[in-house]
Amino acid sequence: MSGPAPRLEEGGTFSRPGYRVRLRPIEERDVDAMMGWVNDPAVTRNFAGMSRTITRQEELAYVRAMRSSSADRLYVAEDLDGAYVGNAGIHKIYWPAANGRLGLVIGDRTRHGQGYGQEVLRLLCTLAFEHLQLHKVWIVHYGDNGRMLHLCKKLGFQEEGVLRDEYFHQDAWHDMLRHSLLRGDYDEAPWRARLGQPTM
């Protein structure tokens, strides 16, 4: 692979049969829903770069940057009624080697622990491998993020290593864990279902 794959069609959505969430490309109108969690310490403590207050203007600039970046694909996860559930992205895409970093957040905390994160992570992997034709996706999370660790293992990600004292946050150093899923791992994953082109 040598260059960026096409984006999901604007206004299009991507999901799988039986799922309660779908992904669609992020839009500027999503900023208000995002402001519901970007300054919530219970959510942002899991993200290394989010330890200060973020303004709506900054968040809007971030969404605009993501929408125009060739190395990022940022989606909103919404329920089947169109209500905002969270954000999901494939970032730092290095097209020559066809790899990218996954990130996800179930921003609506009342929905944590109900299986939405797993659905979103599966959808992200499916988009990465079947739509973007990536070879590898990776994810870095705090070592004490039990939910994320559990989900990575459950979906077949392999641990690549511990980034010791990688971040300083809330007066403490934190180890990060890096996990990855290769195209071949995905092909063998029991949860995988082959899909056609993801525009509906």
Ligand X SMILES: CC(C)(COP(=O)(O)OP(=O)(O)OC[C@H]1O[C@@H](n2cnc3c(N)ncnc32)[C@H](O)[C@@H]1OP(=O)(O)O)[C@@H](O)C(=O)NCCC(=O)NCCS
Binding site for ligand X (CB under 6 A): 43, 46, 103-106, 112-118, 139, 141, 145-148, 150-151, 154
Q: How far is the CB of 120 from ligand X (least distance, A)?
A: 7
Name which of 64 and 154 has its Cβ closer to ligand X: 154
Name which of 147 and 169 has its Cβ closer to ligand X: 147
Q: How far apart are CA 116 and CA 2, in angstroms?
A: 33
Name which of 1 and 91 has its Cβ closer to ligand X: 91
Q: How far apart are CA 124 and CA 24, in angstroms?
A: 11
Name which of 8 and 124 has its Cβ closer to ligand X: 124
Taking alpha carbons only, the member of 112, 108, 136, 127 closest to residue 35 is 108
Phi-psi region of 18 (alpha: psi -120 to 50; beta: other; left: phi over 0): left
Q: How far is the CB of 37 from ligand X (least distance, A)?
A: 8
Q: How far is the CB of 55 from ligand X (least distance, A)?
A: 20
Q: How far apart are CA 106 and CA 113, in angstroms?
A: 10
Q: How far is the CB of 196 from ligand X (least distance, A)?
A: 25
Residue nearest to ligand X according to CB distances in the complex: 117
Q: How far apart are CA 89 and CA 103, in angstroms?
A: 5
